[in-house]
Amino acid sequence: MYTNQGKLMGQIFDDLVEKGATYQFELDGRKLLPGVYYYTIETDKKIIHQRIELIR
């Protein structure tokens, strides 16, 4: 996860996963400031960039 300024705030997952399987991740935002963060999901066919907003 990255901030608006591109600072790496943490890595949620970094491994290969089984094709066709469903995965679920939890983000503990207690140590993060409220704001907008960005994450990337990368497969062999595409790269997806998404934003997440942390509100308290």
Model confidence pLDDT, tens digit, residues 21-39: 888 888 888 888 999 999 9
Structural contact between residues 36 and 50, judged by C-beta atoms closer than 8 angstroms = no
Q: Where are the domains of the chain?
A: 1-56
Residue 1, C-beta contacts closer than 8 angstroms, at least 6 positions apart: 8, 9, 10, 11, 12, 27, 37, 38, 39, 52
Report pLDDT for 26. Answer: 84
- pLDDT bucket at 47, cuts 50 / 70 / 90: very high
CA distances from 14 to 19, 34, 40 (A): 15, 24, 11
Residue 7 predicted with pLDDT over 90 = yes
Angstrom distance (rounded) from CA 3 to CA 12: 14
Q: What is the pTM of this model?
A: 0.74
